[in-house]
Structure 1
Amino acid sequence: MSFMSPGSVVWFEIGTADIAAVRDFYGSVLGWTFETDQDSSTDGRVYTRIMAPGAPWPMGAIEQGGSGGTGGEAVNLSVLSADVHDDVERLKRLGATVVVPPTTVGEVTVFARLRDPLGNVFALFSRTTSEQLEERAAATEEHIEQAAYAPVPGGFAWFEIGTTDPRATREFYEAAFGWRFEKDDSAGGKPYYNVFTGNEWPSGGMYDHSTGPGGADYTMPSFMVTDVAATVAGAVAAGATVEHGPDGNPDGLAFARLIDLKGNRFGLFSMPRQP
C-alpha cells in the first residue's frame, strides 16, 4: 500500500461560521496561507484551502458553516475511500452514523461525513477520475507523500484519536479501514498507541484516556513545529487554550494539545533533536 491508498488520512477540514477569525488565528500561529475555491462560493458555503509555509499544494481546508452538517464549529479528519457510497453503507453496519450522505462536488470529488461509535466526526472522500484534473491530482499526491516523509514546520504531519474506550475505538477503525495499533514504547509509559494506516511507519496515534482524569473523545490534526513551547505561547496569545502540555517523551519528542479560539482541538509536536 502507498500513503495515498484507501484508508489513509490525507486531509483535514475546519468547519466554522467565522472564516476570517480562523484564518487570522492559524495564519499568525502556524504561518498558513489560503486560497478560496471559487466554485464553492456559488452556494454560499465558501471552501478555503490551506497551505503550509512554502507548500505548493493544500493540506486541508476551512469550510464555512460548521463542517457541513455537524452544526456549529467542528474539525474532522478525512480518509481516502475507493468508493464513498459503498464505504458509507459498510461503516453504518459497524456502528457509524451519517452526518452528511455521499455528495458529489462538481467533477472534483465525492465525499461523506460520519460519526464513529464514540461520536467523533470524520469524512470519506474519493479522488476524481476527470482527465483534466489528473495532472493536478497526481502532483497533489506527490506533495502529500513527500510531506509525510519530510514535514515542514506548520504542516499537517500526524493525527490523533483520544478515547475513553480504547477497545471500541480500535475495533471500529481496524474493521473500518484496516488500521493497526501498536503500543508506543518510546512514550515514557504514557498510554499511547501508534496507528499504522497501511504503511511500515505510523501516521497517527491513539491516546487512551480511559484511566486518567479529564479524559475526552476526539480526533484532531497535529502540526509539526520547530519549538512547541514558543508556538503554544503564540497560540495562547492569539486566543487558544492549552488542554495538555507542553510535554515530552524520553526520546526528546515534544508535544501539546490545544483548543483554538473557536473550540476545535489541534496538536503541535516537534521531532527529537538529532545528535
Structure 2
Amino acid sequence: MKVTDIVPGSPCWTQLGTTDPEAAQRFYGGLFGWTAETDPNPEAGGYTIFSLNGSPCAAVAPLMNPQQPVAWLISFATPDADEAAAVAQKAGARLWMGPMDVMGAGRWAMLSDPTGAAFGLWQAKEFNGFAVVDEPGAFGWIDGSTRDVPGAVKFYKDTFGWQVWPSDDYPMVGLGGNMFGGLMNMGEMFPPEMPAHWNPYFVAADVDATVAKARELGGEVVHAAEDVQMENGPRIAVLRDPQGGVFGVFKPARMS
C-alpha cells in the first residue's frame, strides 16, 4: 500500500545500524527484493535508502560507534521533534542524540523509553519516511519487548497518545483505531543483559519460504514460523541477519 500521509505518533521509518552495510544490502536485497541507493554526500556517512519497487521502505547505515549493537531502530512521526523530545523526557525518556537537522530531509532525535527501548523521532521536511507499507517486502508492524509492559504502555500513551487494546500476554497499540504494534514481557527466554527493544516486522507472502530464503542467504532463525493462536492471527517468524540484526516477518490472516 502506498503511503500518502503518516499519522503523528505512528511508525514512520526503520533503519538498520550494522557493522557491514554492504553485506546487509545483499542480504535484504535477496530476501525482500529491496534495491539500495547510498547518499553520495559525505555528511550522510554512507546512509543508504532501501526501496521496494521504487518506494522507500527502510534504510541501513554504519554503526555510530563501535559499542553500539547491530539493531533496527524504529522512528515515530512528529510535527515538532523538539517538542516531542521534551514531552518524552518529561514522561521519563532519556535523550541520546538531537534533536538535529538531517540536511534538508527532516529533524531527528534518538531516545530510549523508561524501560530502556531505543526509538527515534522524525519531523519530516523533504523526506516523509515510508512510501509503502503493508504489502509483501514492506514494513507492517512493530514488536516491543520490555521487562515493564505497564510502564511502557503508560509512557507511549503519555508521549504519543497511543490507543491500547488490553491483553495479559500482548497488549496491542495504535492510533485512530489502526493497530500497528504490540508489547510483550521479556521472560526467561531473554538474557538478563539484553535491553528492552523494538523490532520491525515486514510482510511476507509466504513466511515459510521467507525463512528458508533467509537461511540460504546466511541468516538465522530466532523464532520458527508459527501461526499466532488468536482470532485472525498472522503467521510469524523472527529472523537474525548475518551481522546480528533481528527482525520479524509475518503474513496477515487477511492475505490467506
Greater Cα offset, 231-240 or 244-253 = 244-253
Structure 1 equivalent of residue 108 of structure 2: 111
**Distance 1:118-1:262 versus aligned 2 partners, 3 A rule:** farther
Q: Which of the pair is proportionally richer in strand?
A: 2
Write out per-residue CA displacement over residues 43-89 of structure 1, whole angstroms, 9 at most, x where no aligned residue.
Answer: 3711100112x2x32022112234x7972423210111121112222
The 5 Å alignment of 1:1-150 reads: 4-39=6-41, 42-43=42-43, 45-52=45-52, 54=53, 56-66=54-64, 71-128=68-125, 133=126, 144=131, 147-148=132-133
1:177 counterpart (160, 163, 168): 160
In the TM superposition, what is the alpha-carbon distance from 1:22 to its structure 2 partner? 0.7
- Aligned to 2:104, the other structure's residue is in SS state coil
- Aligned to 2:209, the other structure's residue is in SS state helix
Gaps of 5+ in 2: none
In the TM superposition, what is the alpha-carbon distance from 1:90 to its structure 2 partner? 2.0
TM-score w.r.t. the length of structure 1 is 0.81
1:213 counterpart (188, 193, 204): 188
**Distance in 1, Cα, partners of 2:70 & 2:202:** 20
Write out per-residue CA displacement over residues 130-150 of structure 1, whole angstroms, 9 at most, x where no aligned residue.
Answer: xxx5xxx5xx67x74xx44xx
Write out per-residue CA displacement over residues 104-123 of structure 1, whole angstroms, 9 at most, x where no aligned residue.
Answer: 12222110111112222111
In the TM superposition, what is the alpha-carbon distance from 1:191 to its structure 2 partner? 1.6
**Distance 1:274-1:88 versus aligned 2 partners, 3 A rule:** closer
Structure 2 equivalent of residue 187 of structure 1: none
- Aligned to 1:122, the other structure's residue is in SS state strand
In the TM superposition, what is the alpha-carbon distance from 1:3 to its structure 2 partner? 5.3
TM-score w.r.t. the length of structure 2 is 0.86
In the TM superposition, what is the alpha-carbon distance from 1:213 to its structure 2 partner? 3.0
**Distance 1:268-1:274 versus aligned 2 partners, 3 A rule:** closer
Structure 2 equivalent of residue 260 of structure 1: 241
Gaps of 5+ in 1: 185-189
Write out per-residue CA displacement over residues 215-269 of structure 1, whole angstroms, 9 at most, x where no aligned residue.
Answer: 4632011001111112112212322222222111244620011222222220100
Aligned-partner residue type, residue 226 of structure 1: A
Aligned-partner residue type, residue 45 of structure 2: R
- What is the count of residue pairs matched by the alignment? 247
Q: Is 1:100–1:114's contact at 8 Å kept on the other side of the alignment?
A: yes
2:181 counterpart (197, 204, 212): 204
Q: Is 1:3–1:199's contact at 8 Å kept on the other side of the alignment?
A: no
Aligned-partner residue type, residue 65 of structure 1: L
**Distance in 1, Cα, partners of 2:143 & 2:104:** 31
**Distance in 2, Cα, partners of 1:69 & 1:96:** 23
Q: Is 1:13–1:76's contact at 8 Å kept on the other side of the alignment?
A: yes
1:237 aligned onto 2:220: no
Q: Is 1:156–1:223's contact at 8 Å kept on the other side of the alignment?
A: yes
Aligned-partner residue type, residue 249 of structure 1: V
Q: Which of the pair is proportionally richer in helix?
A: 1
Same amino acid, percent of matched pairs = 29
